[in-house]
Structure 1
Amino acid sequence: MVAGETSGDLLAGLLLDGFRARWPGLRSVGIGGPQMALRGFTAWWPSGKLAVRGYVEVLRHYREIVGIRAQLRQKLLAEPPDVFIGVDAPDFNLDLEADLKAAGIRTVHFISPSVWAWRAERVEKIRRSVDHVLCIFPFEPALLAQHGIAATYVGHPLASMIPLQADQAAAREKLGLRPDDLVLALLPGSRQSEIQYLAERFFRAAALVRRAQPAIKIIVPAVPALLAQIEQAARVAGVLDQVQIVSGQSHTVLAACDLTLIASGTATLEAALYKRPMVIAYNMNWLSWRIMRRKKLQPWVGLPNILCQDFVVPELLQNAATPEALAEAVLQWIAAKISAPEKIRAVEQRFTKLHEELRRDTARIATDAIQNILEG
């Protein structure tokens, strides 16, 4: 298995629960993180080595990443596994999967690359590289079938992991918050490059929000490896003593908060599954942004909006993601909470419906699909 970042490590860990129940003697190796390690996974390299997003950002790490892939390919060809599962990280995994498939190793890709949202040209590479795709969104298998790619809808693991109704009171108690606090969660990303481009502007936006709402509590769940970098961004923005930064605990924070300012990515879907109003933001190297923008196929970037096919929550991207604009969008949600609660309820209803659509026994369905692949 190869999982390339924090979210991939989480998803792969949930898959491994199902695999170990079906195959108690399972040996799993490759590239992974702490959630996979808890399930007995042996990581030859840590998943953080692949946690890079954006064309320019990848170039800075290109030689190291290509070197890791070459060494991994050599190890797997020398000792072929029964099946290789690439978890997301398509730019790393698809090329590796193509070589393994050509050598007769069964290949599975978990989480279809978003060819329906951007970079549609990758569909041919998927067809050439994988024997089967495990899809987390219900419309994907039919789309892939049009291109001769076998696929199974397994639901989104997070939809089963996150309760339909989260216990906000318990989450607040765990974080030392009062039941009547107004709580804003800041989630500036799980990659170093995201913290570099987003964290300081998130904190500057938080300072503006706090100026308008002095009693608001601001809490930040930090990826442990990036804790120091996030604290430094808060210090530079002058708000280190005004925010509560916790190590990990992103789900507890999302359960506890009233709303969130959040980086585009898997975390936005997690926020939607917790039924939280949000402001989605992203900023990256300007050249990477220009390249990616040309390849975008839909008007939305945030997963909740893509899945709902509507701007259910605002998106502020690149130059639009100024601290002032981010703060204003957050304050609009706060105003709605006070004077137009029906707007908040409408978002909660949309996200509840989405949650129900994505909720499946993912580990079992995925394990059944892989069993079929192994048998023939």
Structure 2
Amino acid sequence: MVAGEASGDLLAGLLLDGMKQRWPQLQAHGIGGPQMAARGFQAWWPQDKLAVRGYVEVLRHYREIVGIRSQLRERLLREPPSAFIGVDAPDFNLDLEAALRQRGIPTIHFVCPSIWAWRPQRVEKMRQACDHVLCLFPFEPALLQQHGIAATYVGHPLASVIPLEADKAGARRALGLADGDEVVAILPGSRRSEIHYMAPRFFAAALQIRQARPGVRFVTPAAPGLKAAIEQAARAAGLADGLQVLDGQSHTALAACDVTLIASGTATLEAALFKRPMVIGYAVSWLTARLMRRQHLQPWIGLPNILCGEFVVPELLQEDATPEKLSRAVLDWLAAPARISAVQHRFQALQHELRRDTRALATDAIEKVIRT
């Protein structure tokens, strides 16, 4: 298995639960993070080696990443596993899967790359690389099957893990927050490159929010290995004394908050499943942004907006992701309880749509691939 970032590690950990239940003697190894390790996964490399986003950002780490993939490919070809499961990270996994599949190793890709949103040309690589794709969203299998790619909708595991009614009071007690506090969760991303681009903007926005609403409390969950970088960014922004930086605990932070200022990615879906209003911000290097815009197929980048088919929450990207605009969008939520209630009802319906027995459905599909 290969999972290349915090969200993939979480998804892979849930998948391992299902496979371990079906095959108690399962041995799993490759590249992963702490959620996978907690299930007995043996990581030959840590996942943060692959946690890089953006064309320009990847170029800085290209030689190391390609070297890791080459070493992993050779090791798996020498000692073929029963199956290879690539969890998201398509730029790394699809080429690896294609090489393994050519040598007869069954390949499963967990999380359909968003070919419906951008880079549709990736579908040809998927046809060459994947024996089967496990899809998180209900519309994806039919799209893939049009291109001759076998796929199964397994639901989004987070929709079952996250409760329909989050314990906001309990989460606040766990973080030392009072029931009456006004709380904003700041999630600048789970990759070092995201912290570089987003944390200074988000923390500068937090200062402006605090000026408008002096009693507001801020919490930021830090992905493994990123706490020091987040704390440094907070100090540089002048927010060190007003920010509680957590070791992980992103779900606790989202359950506890009133609004979240959040970087685009899987975390936005988690926020939606916690029924939290959000402001999505994102920025990359200007060259990466220019290349991405050319290949983008939809008007939204945030998963809650994509799944709802409209802008239910604001997105502020690149030059629009300024502290002034970000802070104003957060303050707009805090001043509009009726708007918050409406988006919470929308997110409740979305969660029901995504709730499936993901562990069982995914394990059934994997078993069929292995035994074919």
**Deviations 1:60-96 (CA, angstroms, capped at 9, x unpaired):** 0000000000000000011111100000000000000
2:362 partner amino acid: A
Name the counterpart of 1:272.
272
- 1:352 partnered with 2:343: no
Give how far 1:171 is off. 0.3
Name the counterpart of 1:74.
74
Work out the number of aligned pairs and report it: 372
Q: Residues 228-247 of structure 1: matches in 2 within 5 Å?
A: 228-247=228-247
2:261 partner amino acid: L
Name the counterpart of 1:196.
196
Name the counterpart of 2:41.
41
Give how far 1:173 is off. 0.5
Name the counterpart of 2:96.
96
Name the counterpart of 1:12.
12
1:175 partner amino acid: L
CA distance in 2, matches of 1:342, 1:142: 37
CA distance in 2, matches of 1:308, 1:257: 22
**Deviations 1:246-303 (CA, angstroms, capped at 9, x unpaired):** 1111000000000000000000000000000000000111101100111100000000
Q: TM-score, normalised by structure 2?
A: 0.99
Change (3 A) 1:107 1:224: closer
CA distance in 2, matches of 1:127, 1:330: 42
Name the counterpart of 1:167.
167
Secondary structure of the structure 1 residue equivalent to 2:56: helix
2:61 partner amino acid: H
Unaligned runs of 5+ residues in structure 1 are: none
1:99 partner amino acid: A
CA distance in 2, matches of 1:373, 1:221: 37
Name the counterpart of 2:61.
61
CA distance in 1, matches of 2:249, 2:28: 26
Secondary structure of the structure 2 residue equivalent to 1:171: helix
Secondary structure of the structure 1 residue equivalent to 2:158: helix
Give how far 1:374 is off. 1.5
Name the counterpart of 1:119.
119
2:9 partner amino acid: D
Q: Residues 182-331 of structure 1: matches in 2 within 5 Å?
A: 182-331=182-331
Unaligned runs of 5+ residues in structure 2 are: none
Give how far 1:224 is off. 3.4
**Deviations 1:300-329 (CA, angstroms, capped at 9, x unpaired):** 000000000000000000000000010010
Give how far 1:345 is off. 1.1
1:164 partner amino acid: L
* % same residue: 69
1:358 partner amino acid: L
- 1:32 partnered with 2:28: no
Change (3 A) 1:88 1:179: same
Name the counterpart of 1:181.
181
Change (3 A) 1:224 1:71: closer
Secondary structure of the structure 2 residue equivalent to 1:17: helix
CA distance in 1, matches of 2:248, 2:34: 12
Where does structure 1 differ by over 4 angstroms across 4 or more consecutive aligned residues? Answer: none
CA distance in 2, matches of 1:139, 1:159: 16
Q: TM-score, normalised by structure 1?
A: 0.98
Secondary structure of the structure 1 residue equivalent to 2:226: helix
CA distance in 2, matches of 1:250, 1:111: 21
CA distance in 2, matches of 1:246, 1:369: 37
CA distance in 2, matches of 1:24, 1:248: 29
Give how far 1:342 is off. 2.2
Give how far 1:35 is off. 0.7
Secondary structure of the structure 2 residue equivalent to 1:224: coil
Name the counterpart of 1:361.
357
CA distance in 1, matches of 2:335, 2:125: 47
